[in-house]
């Protein structure tokens, strides 16, 4: 199981059918619940409907105070139509006697961050949910609305230019903690280490196979074609190929000592959509060192070291 199994991302499970009794119990025992935000008003208060109970998350209870000012407003507005975790702080009745509730998402986030500070270390494998993508990286909810950055260069060994080439918003993924800045409560993730080494990926292919791939780089000396998220090969240069093209290729040679796969393009194909699930080789635990290169490789090894930052 991933190391954040006690405080999973928002939106991974369907909210229950809420009853007033369920909410009363939640007030007394502090249970963390989840529901879908219906509306955000001009003051950045959020509103939910929990069965027959009308609920409000006041602005100051929507996000934890250590989320930076530039991100706080978009973090609130972007929750409309999406699920959020919360505790039920109080129950009362409106002027007509209908039940109402005050909720806190901030308390849930602070509890989750306390757990992370106690137990989450560099190399820890966590479950996440992609909430936004930018050219420089993907923003990933790794627990109750706490968002970490997964830089684009850490997504896979096969080069991509934008996280959209590997993920879609809302997708559940696994990642490993690369850096945990506890003082500022900021977490950076890495992903490629979970997708297998060069040899693990190359073991799925044989010389003479014809397989589908995606063009990831067009150079004067040839084109790099991704065969798997952590494995690419090189074809001869072709003027009709563009980055993102789908292709069928025949594997002409596999050379572990040079980490090279030689390919021949057979046909240009329509681009492929990113897969719903990725072929993870590591799904839990804590990594301390990961070596992508084969042991007998003649090139400098590609290594990731997971260590605490002083």
pLDDT above 80 for 71: no
Q: What is the 3-state secondary structure (H, E, C) of 201-239?
A: HHCCCCCCCEEEEEEEEEECCEEEEEEECCEEEEECCCC
Residue 267 burial by Cβ neighbours in a 10 Å radius (0-12, 13-18, 19+)? exposed
Lowest mean pLDDT among 36-40, 63-67, 243-247, 302-306: 63-67
Q: What is the pTM of this model?
A: 0.92
| Rounded Cα gap, residues 296 and 305, in angstroms | 20
Say which residues have a Cβ less than 8 Å from residue 277's Cβ, sequence separation at least 6: none
Higher pLDDT, residue 72 or 304 = 304
Average pLDDT score over residue span 70-85:
83
CA angle 116, 168, 244 (to 5 degrees): 130
Q: What is the pLDDT of residues 89-131, one digit of tens each?
A: 999 988 888 899 999 999 999 999 999 998 899 999 999 999 9
DSSP state of 113: H
pLDDT at residue 68, rounded to an integer? 57
pLDDT tens, 3-62? 888 888 999 888 999 999 999 999 999 999 999 999 999 999 999 999 999 999 999 999
Could you tell me the two tokens for 107?
A: 């308390």
Looking at residue 69, its pLDDT comes to 52
Domains recognised in the chain with CATH numbers:
20-113 (2.40.50.140), 121-196+285-305 (2.40.50.140), 198-269 (2.40.50.140)
């Amino acid at each position: 199981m991933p190391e954040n199994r006690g405080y999973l991302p928002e939106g991974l499970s369907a909210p229950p059918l809420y009853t007033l009794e369920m909410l009363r119990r939640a007030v007394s025992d502090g249970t963390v619940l989840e529901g879908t935000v219906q509306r955000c008003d001009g003051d950045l208060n959020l509103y939910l409907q929990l069965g027959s109970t009308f609920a409000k998350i006041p602005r100051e209870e929507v996000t934890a105070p250590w989320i930076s000012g530039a991100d706080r407003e978009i973090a609130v507005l972007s929750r409309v139509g999406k699920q959020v975790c919360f505790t039920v702080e109080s129950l009362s009745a409106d002027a007509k006697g209908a039940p109402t509730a005050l909720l806190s998402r901030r308390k849930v986030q602070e509890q989750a961050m306390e757990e992370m500070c106690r137990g989450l270390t560099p190399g820890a494998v966590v479950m996440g949910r992609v909430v936004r993508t930018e050219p420089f990286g993907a923003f990933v909810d790794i627990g109750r609305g706490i968002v970490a950055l997964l830089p684009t260069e850490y997504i896979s060994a096969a080069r991509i230019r934008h996280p959209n080439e590997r993920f879609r918003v809302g997708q559940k993924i696994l990642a490993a903690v690369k850096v945990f800045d506890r003082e500022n409560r900021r977490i950076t993730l890495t992903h490629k280490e979970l997708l297998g080494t060069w040899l693990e990926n190359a073991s799925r292919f044989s010389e003479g196979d014809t397989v589908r791939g995606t063009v990831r780089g067009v150079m004067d000396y040839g084109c790099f074609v991704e065969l798997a998220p952590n494995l690419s090969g090189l074809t001869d240069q072709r003027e009709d190929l563009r980055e993102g093209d789908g292709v069928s290729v025949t594997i002409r040679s596999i050379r572990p000592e040079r980490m090279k796969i030689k390919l021949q393009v057979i046909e240009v194909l329509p681009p492929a959509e990113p897969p719903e699930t990725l072929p993870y080789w590591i799904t839990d635990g804590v990594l301390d060192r990961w070596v992508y290169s084969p042991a007998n490789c003649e090139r400098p090894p590609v290594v990731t070291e997971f260590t605490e930052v002083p």
